[in-house]
């Protein structure tokens, strides 16, 4: 039986002309409602739309907003149906066992519009991850603890489609063929331990990048692969991604995702210190000083300067601003690839390519973001400064360092284990840590990271590479003794 008919759901979606209508079953009376959704979610949060009520309804017209934004982009989903007895039973029982989950959900927009546990957790009986708990045995209702992007995408097809063409989607897939990474994790970090070598992945890489979620014999996710909200998870239904990475369960809040903290659980640290760069920037300074006074809950595409004084990560990379529309494709506004060994200009529509995107188009869009608050001269000159830093890294650090490395390799003067070799350790820090810090710091206006953690350290590493290269080429030997670059404070 079709779950949507069971639930007597009537769901309508009004979307801009380009957006697709989700398929939600045959017999749903669909209503189009062209009015934008509420500018504030405060009332929504305060109302307890949960268990006590038979009908959870939202009528966007009641919540007409004063900031309309670009009307062609406004969309609103309207759900008009009752919360069934079965849905109520989930809520009532779980209120005892997991009051935290219920309270998060109750305060969410989902609860307000009548999206319940079953909408996300019910799966078909033949799904590989179908399970039943005691209260469901003997019924035709199956659930799973896993909620894939395809599940969210049924009601939010536009967001999923944009996510699917972004660099985020490859966060795990991109690693699969990289043998040197698996060797690093299992052989070097995991010490080749027969039982425990996956620990560094389970507690580290996987929590940011995701993994392929596997199931045990009962259809439950294995402890080897779950829990994690890594960006590129591959779910048993084949869909890829993690919507909870920025909208944590069970609030699924737009406001949370707009805060820099939403990105900071992954975009930090020695190799991509984006949150640190942000905190170092004037924008971050303003956010720290007065962010608590800004308005965070305007509807998508209606969150504009005035609601805030300085941009967050989301403002520059995702949110609608001026004539730009909100996007879940975080690659759309980029010019360079800044994580690669050598930065190239983006020019590919292959989602697995490091150069995914259209560089010149991306730059145009990013400049549109700046232009909401800065003049043209400021913006043009900023990118003149920042591009110079990226090119300097490419031309004066990466290219000659790579040349030295290739020469040593050709002469057989590199150790087989790169993590015991002073040259290779330093070379790694040059591009993966210091070089990235310089590039990210420069492009996002964080001078401490562009300079002290960036170019200053780059020149130090470069001199060291030169010295090792010279000694090895002159002697024809790899210097004896333990590498000096180990466990450095990089
Ligand atoms: C009579 C109480 C009860 C009812 C009714 C109930 N649950 Fe549960 N549910 C539990 C308990 C107990 C667990 C497992 C214990 C735990 O880990 O908290 C659980 C576990 C879960 C899990 C985690 C799955 C897993 O494999 O461990 C999900 C998701 C879930 N329930 C959803 C639902 C949904 C959806 C409904 C409504 C169809 C529902 N529950 C109805 C008590 C209940
Ligand atoms: C909008 C979709 C959505 C709704 C509605 C929803 N969940 Fe979830 N739930 C999720 C997602 C996403 C996860 C994380 C699953 C994953 O990692 O794939 C999750 C995880 C869980 C878990 C395991 C989490 C943990 O920390 O142990 C339980 C239990 C659960 N949900 C119960 C419920 C109950 C009960 C309700 C109804 C009050 C509910 N969910 C409503 C999306 C939803
Ligand atoms: C059954 C349909 C349905 C499913 C499944 C669903 N949602 Fe929603 N979601 C809605 C509706 C309806 C709204 C309210 C839309 C509005 O206000 O116009 C909403 C709103 C949202 C919002 C905006 C919240 C805010 O603060 O304004 C986010 C974020 C969101 N959903 C994320 C998710 C994620 C992530 C999943 C999967 C884990 C999911 N949704 C699954 C129907 C659904
Ligand atoms: C759960 C971890 C996680 C969170 C949270 C996260 N990201 Fe990412 N992000 C990643 C990973 C991993 C990659 C690398 C993907 C790849 O290229 O394989 C990435 C890549 C990117 C890229 C580069 C994409 C490209 O095409 O090279 C941008 C830009 C980005 N993220 C922005 C953001 C923003 C903005 C936020 C917050 C709104 C955010 N991310 C939240 C993990 C995360
Ligand atoms: C704290 C979160 C985090 C952890 C832990 C982490 N990464 Fe990443 N990784 C990221 C982010 C964020 C990016 C994207 C940086 C950018 O766009 O500039 C990234 C980029 C990458 C890239 C380049 C893009 C790609 O996917 O090819 C590789 C490869 C990579 N990481 C592999 C790993 C491996 C292997 C581990 C574990 C040994 C690991 N990462 C641990 C967050 C993390
Ligand atoms: C990298 C972080 C990130 C990830 C991952 C992410 N979102 Fe979002 N999402 C955001 C941000 C930021 C906004 C608010 C954009 C704005 O300011 O307009 C948002 C807004 C939304 C909205 C509200 C849009 C509206 O029109 O009201 C929905 C629905 C949504 N996301 C669903 C999803 C779904 C479904 C997924 C998984 C396919 C997902 N998100 C993954 C960051 C993220
Ligand atoms: C003022 C706007 C702005 C803010 C705020 C901002 N960024 Fe950026 N970000 C940029 C620009 C500009 C670039 C470089 C784009 C290019 O290549 O031209 C960039 C590049 C990146 C990249 C590098 C992608 C790659 O190719 O490796 C990541 C990752 C990223 N930003 C994440 C974040 C995160 C996370 C935050 C918040 C902590 C953030 N950004 C805040 C404007 C911003
Ligand atoms: C929401 C408004 C807003 C947006 C959007 C915005 N900025 Fe800013 N920016 C500010 C404010 C406010 C300051 C602080 C000005 C001051 O110091 O008086 C600032 C400061 C700066 C500074 C520090 C130098 C200076 O002029 O004081 C740089 C560099 C900068 N912004 C670059 C950018 C770039 C590049 C973009 C687009 C990628 C951007 N900004 C987008 C509001 C914004």
Integer Cα distance of 104 and 106 in angstroms: 6
Question: Which ligand sits nearest to residue 252's alpha carbon?
Answer: 3
Q: Ligand 5: which of 209, 350, 441, 454 to mutate, judged by most atoms within 8 Å of the beta carbon?
A: 209
Q: Which of 127, 133, 173 is nearest to 150 (CA)?
A: 127
Query: What six digits make up the tokens of 382?
Result: 């900023």
Residue 95 lies in a domain: yes
Residue 18 lies in a domain: yes
Among 123, 155, 185, the domain boundary falls at 123
Residues with CB under 6 A from ligand 3: 37, 41, 76-77, 79, 109-110, 113, 115, 119-120, 147, 151-152, 154-156, 243, 247, 252-254
Residue 420 lies in a domain: yes
CA of 118 to the centre of ligand 7 (A): 37
- Pick the residue whose CA is nearest to atom 13 on ligand 7: 443
**What pLDDT, on the 0 to 100 scale, is given for residue 41?**
38
Residue 209 lies in a domain: no
Residue 155 lies in a domain: no
Give me the DSSP letters along 149-186.
HHHHHHH-HHHHHHHHTSGGGGTTGGGTT-HHHHIIII
Number of domains the chain is built from: 2
Ligand 8 atom with the smallest distance to the CA of 310 is 1
Taking the chain (490 residues) in runs of 10, the rounded mean pLDDT of each run is: 32 33 32 35 35 33 36 55 86 96 97 96 97 93 98 98 98 96 96 98 98 98 98 98 98 98 98 98 98 97 97 98 97 98 98 98 98 98 98 98 98 96 97 98 98 98 98 97 64
- Pick the residue whose CA is nearest to atom 28 on ligand 2: 145
**What pLDDT, on the 0 to 100 scale, is given for residue 50?**
37
Residue 417 lies in a domain: yes
Among 89, 123, 157, the domain boundary falls at 123
Q: Ligand 6: which of 44, 75, 157, 257 to mutate, judged by most atoms within 8 Å of the beta carbon?
A: 257
Print the domain residue range for 396: 378-475
Integer Cα distance of 399 and 474 in angstroms: 22
**What pLDDT, on the 0 to 100 scale, is given for residue 35?**
35
CA of 421 to the centre of ligand 5 (A): 22
Integer Cα distance of 433 and 268 in angstroms: 11
Question: Which ligand sits nearest to residue 155's alpha carbon?
Answer: 3
Residue 100 lies in a domain: yes
**What pLDDT, on the 0 to 100 scale, is given for residue 486?**
56
Ligand 3 atom with the smallest distance to the CA of 299 is 27
**What pLDDT, on the 0 to 100 scale, is given for residue 76?**
62
**Can you give the pTM of this predicted structure?**
0.92
Torsion sign, CA atoms 43, 44, 49, 55: positive
Among 123, 147, 174, the domain boundary falls at 123
Residue 456 lies in a domain: yes
Q: How many CB atoms lie within 10 A of CB 124?
A: 11
């Amino acid at each position: 039986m079709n779950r949507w008919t069971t639930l007597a759901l009537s769901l309508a979606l009004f979307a801009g002309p380009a957006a697709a209508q989700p398929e939600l079953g045959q017999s749903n009376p669909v209503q189009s409602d062209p009015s934008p959704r509420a500018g504030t979610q405060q009332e929504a949060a305060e109302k307890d739309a949960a268990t006590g009520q038979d009908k959870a309804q939202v009528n966007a017209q009641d919540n007409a907003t004063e900031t309309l934004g670009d009307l062609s982009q406004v969309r609103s989903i309207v759900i008009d149906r009752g919360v069934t007895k079965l849905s109520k039973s989930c809520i009532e029982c779980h209120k005892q066992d997991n009051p935290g989950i219920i309270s998060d959900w109750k305060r969410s927009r989902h609860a307000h519009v009548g999206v319940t546990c079953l909408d996300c957790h019910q799966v078909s009986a033949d799904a590989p991850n179908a399970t039943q708990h005691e209260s469901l045995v003997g019924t035709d209702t199956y659930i799973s603890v896993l909620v894939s992007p395809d599940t969210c995408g049924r009601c939010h097809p536009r967001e999923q489609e944009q996510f699917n063409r972004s660099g985020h989607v490859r966060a795990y897939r991109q690693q699969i063929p990289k043998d040197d990474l698996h060797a690093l994790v299992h052989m070097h970090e995991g010490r080749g331990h027969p039982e425990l070598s996956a620990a560094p992945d389970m507690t580290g890489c996987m929590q940011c990048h995701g993994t392929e979620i596997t199931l045990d014999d009962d259809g439950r996710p294995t402890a080897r692969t779950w829990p994690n909200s890594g960006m590129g998870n591959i779910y048993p239904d084949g869909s890829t991604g993690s919507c909870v990475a920025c909208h944590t369960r069970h609030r699924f809040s737009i406001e949370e995702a707009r805060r820099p903290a939403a990105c900071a659980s992954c975009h930090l640290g020695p190799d991509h210190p984006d949150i640190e760069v942000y905190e170092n920037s004037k924008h971050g300074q303003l956010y720290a000083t007065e962010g608590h006074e800004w308005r965070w809950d305007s509807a998508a595409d209606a969150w504009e300067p005035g609601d805030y004084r300085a941009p967050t990560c989301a403002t520059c990379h995702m949110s609608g601003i001026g004539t730009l529309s909100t996007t879940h494709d975080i690659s759309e506004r980029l010019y360079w690839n800044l994580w690669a060994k050598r930065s190239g200009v983006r020019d590919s529509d292959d989602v697995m390519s490091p150069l995914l995107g259209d560089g010149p188009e991306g730059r145009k869009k990013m400049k549109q973001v700046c232009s909401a608050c800065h003049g043209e001269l400021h913006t043009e000159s900023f990118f003149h400064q920042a591009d110079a830093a990226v090119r300097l890294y490419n031309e004066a650090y990466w290219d000659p360092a790579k040349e030295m490395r290739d020469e040593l390799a050709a002469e057989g003067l590199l150790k087989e284990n790169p993590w015991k070799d002073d040259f290779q350790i330093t070379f790694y820090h040059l591009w993966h840590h210091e070089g990235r810090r310089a590039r990210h710091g420069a492009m996002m206006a964080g001078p401490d990271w562009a300079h002290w953690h960036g170019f200053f350290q780059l020149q130090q590493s470069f001199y060291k590479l030169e010295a090792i290269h010279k000694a090895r080429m002159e002697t024809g030997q790899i210097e004896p003794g333990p590498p000096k670059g180990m466990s450095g404070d990089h």
